[in-house]
Amino acid sequence: MDLYLPIAEMPMNVFLLLGMGAAIGFLSGMFGVGGGFLLTPLLIFSGVSPAVAVASVSSQIVANSASGVLAYLRKKTVDLKLGLYLTLSGIVGSSIGVWIYGVLRGLGQLDVVIALCYVAFLGTIGLLMAVEAVRAMLAQRRGTPLPVRRPGQHGWVAGLPLRVRFHRSRLYISVLPVIGLGAIIGFLGALLGIGGGFIMVPALIYLLRVPTAIVIGTTLMQTLGTMAFTTFMQSASNQTVDVILGLTLMVGGVVGAQFGARVGQSLRGETLRLLLGLLVLAVGLRFAVDLVVRPDELYSVSRMGGG
């Protein structure tokens, strides 16, 4: 059954869309990430224009993170103050991202920048995750615990000025890395149509040393705030959010996420991180191959002013 998408101006099979949403939702529930980094490329490969794909996926991420935040708020594992700092800086980053997006689209270089960013970020994060997970697994097999850093050891981040106390996370750290992190994730989110959870989670754990229990809820809060703003901005300035496409993906996504979460709970942490790392790496590689291999068609045609 085909459904005509009014903003994308093309019909797509409704079951394919629900299935995509559900599959990505399943993975996101399993790994605790938004899944935008998989869903946006999937839509682009299905023929949706990158402009509409990136903007519409942001609305799907809002729905996904909203249901997540509610669950974590009930468990009281959200640092609202830290989340607020991250969200506000994320909104600033997102505004810049939406603007750069429009500029690149006009220059005809949006696709290559998106591809390069995917390669760089997914490649790096995927590799780091996979390596870390394998090391943890090997260490466990040998029975030697990994060297754990002492609580006082904060690295270069601790040396920065403008410290703020985050009670819920039991942290007294500079706001500069917090704001920087939020802004970068917001920027990438708007530019690439990703929630950025897969970057935010490790950054909060390893860089800011936020307690693991607080990390996911706080990340989801930042994702919700930033992506809600991004959806609004993409609608207001680029008019590329397809609400029918977004809604279909949301319905599939939220259902898939529930089943994914159940499977995720039954898997070991290291296995989960290794699988996620490999998945992220695979998407990055897919983009790298497209960039390096000589394309079959060297030409492309688009309407003046994007689209």
Partner 1 sequence: MIARALLIAGLACLATAARAETLVTALSTERVSIESNFTGSGVVVFGTIERDEQTVARAAPYEIVVTLTGPLRTMVARRKERVAGIWINREARQLPRVPTFLAIATTAPMADVAGNPVRARQGLGFDMLPTRGLPDALPPVRTDFDAAFFRLMQKENLFDLDEGAVEFLSPHLFRAPIALPANVPIGWYTATVYLFSGGVLLAKTTQDFSILKGGFEQAITDLAHQQPALYGLATVIVACFTGWLAGVAFRRD
The residues of the shown chain that bind partner 1, judged by CB under 8 A, are 1-4, 6-7, 9-11, 59-60, 62-68, 70-71, 74, 108-109, 111-112, 116, 224, 228, 231-237, 239, 241, 243-244, 246-247, 250-251, 254-255, 257-258, 291-295, 297-304
Q: Between 195 and 277, whose beta carbon lies closer to partner 1?
A: 195
Question: Which residue(s) pair with 13 in the sheet?
Answer: 2
Q: Which is nearer to partner 1, 111 or 132 (CB)?
A: 111
- Shortest Cβ 91–partner 1 spacing (Å): 13
Integer distance in angstroms from the first to the last C-alpha of the chain? 26
| Spatial contact of 86 and 178, defined as CB atoms under 8 Å apart | yes
User: Helices 212-233 and 50-74, interaxial angle, to 10°?
Assistant: 140
Nearer to partner 1, 52 or 181 (CB): 52
Q: How far is the CB of 231 from partner 1 (least distance, A)?
A: 5
Q: Outline where DSSP puts E strands in 143-257.
A: 163-166, 171-174
Q: What own/partner pairs with CB < 8 Å and gap ≥ 24 does 103-109 have?
A: 105/51, 105/306, 106/305, 106/306, 108/302
Count how many Cα atoms sit within 13 Å of the Cα of residue 154 in the half-sphere of its side chain: 15
Beta carbon of residue 65, minimum distance to partner 1 (angstroms, whole number) = 7
Contact (Cβ atoms closer than 8 angstroms) between residue 222 and residue 204: no
Closest distance to partner 1 from the beta carbon of 3 (Å)? 6
* Separation of alpha carbons 175 and 219, rounded Å: 16
Asked if 30 and 51 touch (Cβ cutoff 8 Å), the reply is no
Q: Could you give the 3-state DSSP secondary structure of residue 144?
A: coil
Beta bridge partners of 5: 10
CB 203, min distance to partner 1, A = 24
Continuous segment of H or E residues that includes residue 11 = strand 10-13
**Closer residue to partner 1 in complex, CB, 64/169:** 64
Residue with Cβ nearer partner 1 (148 or 292): 292
Q: How far is the CB of 306 from partner 1 (least distance, A)?
A: 9
Q: Which is nearer to partner 1, 53 or 254 (CB)?
A: 254
Closer to partner 1 by Cβ: residue 100 or 158: 100
Write down the least CB distance from residue 81 to partner 1, Å. Answer: 22
